[in-house]
């Protein structure tokens, strides 16, 4: 079972900036996601270097044009047109190469994000049920969708822009050093200035970015919670309270985004534009001093060099501006990647030690104890033998441990080694695929896809038409399915909106039976259905007797009245065990009291239904 502290951290890490270790782990996650495309990355770097070299040719050719033809007033038109054409050709080729590399790196980005999203979703499917007991669904959805989408910005924008800018910057610095290394040193002062600006920006904006991402998850979670609980919210007149809570969260998100934008406005483009002006002034000043000094030990330089350096300053500053502008996206992407990585680090459900299989479906429970939290046991010394093909019911008051026992039998939680055996094999020794194939579950709240009746029974298992129809017939669902407009191909709507509660439950039973299970678990499957549907469920269960081991938790005791044995739990202990008649013979017994109370409730309900409604005046 996953550590409770780590599960709680998913919801409790709100508004906390990412640490250096988390950022390193996030970068490692991003690197691994892109590693299958390393060849594309290397090719992209090579071609971006070619584009940078071509772009650096422009000012050099301009210098040559000025020094060779413009200043001497040497009018060699073919040569002059050749130089201008060379500048245009180099610029066009550089732009085309950059476009191709943007397409290449965008493909790398999309594939990397696809791998991360698939990895996260597969990991979520493998998490233990203890994780979902505490996790907030809206935040989980935000991590699988919004956060992975935010990571795409790093690959598409940051990866391309930063690589292109760094390579272009390096190429132009090399050319400037070749032209005049002393002036190049003046231009190079931009780099430490930019590093200082970026460090200050990261320090200022990191808390705001992290808080904004968490608050976006809160917004998603509150929206999902409100939509799912809309009938209760409106019925309890809580709409205004929920709206006020949402408005408060939304306002906090606005403030966090505003703080981030303030950092962008002060420290990124404006600061670098100001440095650009200072740098141009410095180069012109130094050029003027050197040109006007005859005995200072510095030789006069050509006008072409000044033109080249002024051109290069603009081309150097722009990549630096692009790099710093991408730090906003980088900051958000790293926070998102860290949140995704935090989810991936959650411990998965333990895997089976071997590949045992369920052959008959006999269940044996010996001295079973269980606690969700250390020192607080909810099951105490449960001992039970359930023969293969038998029908066992489990009843008890709320909190007696029924659902916990069922969860242990379903391996949603890990029990003590050897405490639960199926066909004589320890529960955890059974292969995962073999165990799930041999076990069927009908939950209290039937889960239906927004798909056809056929797809809901099949659940992606590729079952044959005969098997799907046979399962529906066994579950008493075949007749009402045929009455749907398109039969088994009828789209049922979100959550099976086109079906009644009873029809949903019968379809859920059909789905469980379609897998031809050896063991069938029912978790209060008849608690929300009418008496007629309950009788259909009872008939379906009766026909399974001798072929499938049925274990049913029941709130309606009439559902399990005909069970071979009824298990009565009380405060996590096995209090009574026997058939319906045997348990009813125990004077003052728990089962006897439960059954009698239900009979009184049924009689009162029938009496109320039998009373004639008052006629209108």
DSSP 333-375: HHHHHHHHHHHHTSPPPPPPSS-B--SS--EEEEEEEEEEETT
Q: What percent of the chain has pLDDT over 70?
A: 86
| pLDDT score at 394 | 92
Q: What is the pLDDT of residues 198-210, one digit of tens each?
A: 777 767 776 777 7
- pLDDT for the residue numbered 17: 56
DSSP 240-302: HHHHHHHHHHHHHHHHHHHHHHHHHHHHSHHHHHHHHHHHHHHHHHHHHHHHH-SSSS-----
Phi then psi for residue 426, to 5 deg, are -55, 140
Nearest alpha-carbon partner for 389 in 132, 163, 563: 563
Long-range contacts of 598-602 (CB under 8 A, 24+ apart): 598/556, 598/557, 598/558
For the chain, give the percent of residues with pLDDT over 90: 3
- The answer to whether residues 283 and 252 touch, using CB atoms and an 8 Å cutoff, is no
Q: Which of 94, 272, 241 is nearest to 171 (CA)?
A: 94
* CA 300 and chain centroid, separation: 64
Query: Is the predicted pLDDT of residue 26 greater than 50, yes or no?
Result: yes
At residue 486, the 3 state secondary structure works out as coil
Query: Residue 46: is its pLDDT beyond 50?
Result: yes
Q: Name the β-bridge partners of 520.
A: 440, 550
Specify the pairing of strand 439-442 against strand 425-426: unpaired
Q: Which two tokens stand for residue 127?
A: 């998490």
CA-to-CA dists, residue 128 to 133, 331, 408, 520, 612, angstroms: 9, 31, 12, 21, 52
Q: Tokens 């270790």: give the residue.
A: 21
Tell me, what's the pLDDT at 11?
Answer: 44
Q: What is the model's pLDDT at position 259?
A: 79
Q: How confident is the model at residue 7 (pLDDT cuts 50, 70, 90)?
A: very low
Contacts of 574 (CB under 8 A, 6+ apart): 381, 382, 383, 384, 567, 568
Residue 306: the pLDDT is 74
**Cβ neighbours around 232 below 10 Å, total:** 10
Quick: pLDDT tens for 513-535.
888 888 999 888 777 677 777 77
Q: Which one, of 339, 322, 29, 271, lies nearest residue 159 by Cα?
A: 322
Average pLDDT, whole number, for the chain? 79
pLDDT band for position 385 (50/70/90)? very high
Q: Specify whether the CB–CB gap between 86 and 93 falls below 8 A.
A: no
- pLDDT number for residue 16: 54
Q: Give the residue among 310, 312, 311, 316 at the shortest CA–CA distance from 272.
A: 316
Residue 6 pLDDT more than 70? no
């Amino acid at each position: 079972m996953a550590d409770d502290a780590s599960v709680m951290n998913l919801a409790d890490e709100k508004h906390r900036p990412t640490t250096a270790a988390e950022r390193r782990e996030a970068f490692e996650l991003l690197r691994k996601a892109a590693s299958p495309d390393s060849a594309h990355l290397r090719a992209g770097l090579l071609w971006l270097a070619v584009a940078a070299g071509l772009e650096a040719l422009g000012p050099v050719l301009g210098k040559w044009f000025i020094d060779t033809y413009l200043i001497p007033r040497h009018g060699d038109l073919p040569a002059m047109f050749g130089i201008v054409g060379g500048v245009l050709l180099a610029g066009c080729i550089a732009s085309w190469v950059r476009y191709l590399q943007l397409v290449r790196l965008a493909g790398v980005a999309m594939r990397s994000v696809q791998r991360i999203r698939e990895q996260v979703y597969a990991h979520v499917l493998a998490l233990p049920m203890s994780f979902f007991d505490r996790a907030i669904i809206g935040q989980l959805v935000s991590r699988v969708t919004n956060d992975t989408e935010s990571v795409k910005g790093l690959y598409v924008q940051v990866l391309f822009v930063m690589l292109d800018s760094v390579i272009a910057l390096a190429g132009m610095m090399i050319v400037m050093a070749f032209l005049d290394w002393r002036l190049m040193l003046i231009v190079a002062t931009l780099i430490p200035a930019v590093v200082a600006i970026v460090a200050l920006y990261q320090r200022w904006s990191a808390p705001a970015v992290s808080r904004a991402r968490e608050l976006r998850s809160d917004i998603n979670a509150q929206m999902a919670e409100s939509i799912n609980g809309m009938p209760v919210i409106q019925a309890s007149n809580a709409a205004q309270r929920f709206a006020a809570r949402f408005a408060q969260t939304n306002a906090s998100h606005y403030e966090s985004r505003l703080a981030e934008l303030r950092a962008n406005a002060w420290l990124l483009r404006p600061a670098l534009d100001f440095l650009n002006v200072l740098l141009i002034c410095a180069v012109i000043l130094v050029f003027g001093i050197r040109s006007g000094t005859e005995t200072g030990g510095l030789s006069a330089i050509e006008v072409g060099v000044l033109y080249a350096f002024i051109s290069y300053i603009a081309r150097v500053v722009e990549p630096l501006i692009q790099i710093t502008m991408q730090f906003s996206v980088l900051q958000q992407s790293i926070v998102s990647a860290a949140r995704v990585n935090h989810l991936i680090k959650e411990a998965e459900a333990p895997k089976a030690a071997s590949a045992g299989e369920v052959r008959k479906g006999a269940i044996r429970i010996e001295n079973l104890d269980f606690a969700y939290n250390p020192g607080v046991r909810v099951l105490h010394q449960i001992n039970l033998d359930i023969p293969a093909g038998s029908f066992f019911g489990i009843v008890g008051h709320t909190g007696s441990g029924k659902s916990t026992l069922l969860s242990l039998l379903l391996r949603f939680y890990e029990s003590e080694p050897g405490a639960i055996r199926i066909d004589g094999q320890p529960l955890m020794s059974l292969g995962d695929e073999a165990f799930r194939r041999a076990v069927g579950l009908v939950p209290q709240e039937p889960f239906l896809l927004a798909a056809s009746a056929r797809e809901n029974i099949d659940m992606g298992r590729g079952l044959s038409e005969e098997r799907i129809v046979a399962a529906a017939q066994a579950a008493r669902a075949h007749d009402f399915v045929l009455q749907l407009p398109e039969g088994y191909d009828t789209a049922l709507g979100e959550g099976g909106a086109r079906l009644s509660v009873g029809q949903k439950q019968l379809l859920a039973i059909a789905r469980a039976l379609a897998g031809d299970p050896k063991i069938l678990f029912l978790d209060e499957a008849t608690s929300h259905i009418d008496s007629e549907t309950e009788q259909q469920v009872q008939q379906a269960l009766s026909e399974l007797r001798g072929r499938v081991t049925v274990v049913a938790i029941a709130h309606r005791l009439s559902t399990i009245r005909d069970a071979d044995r009824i298990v009565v739990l009380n405060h996590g202990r096995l209090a009574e065990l026997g058939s319906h008649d045997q348990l009813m013979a125990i004077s003052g017994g728990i089962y006897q009291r439960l059954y009698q109370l239900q009979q009184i409730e049924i009689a009162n309900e029938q009496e109320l239904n039998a009373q004639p409604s008052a006629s209108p005046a």
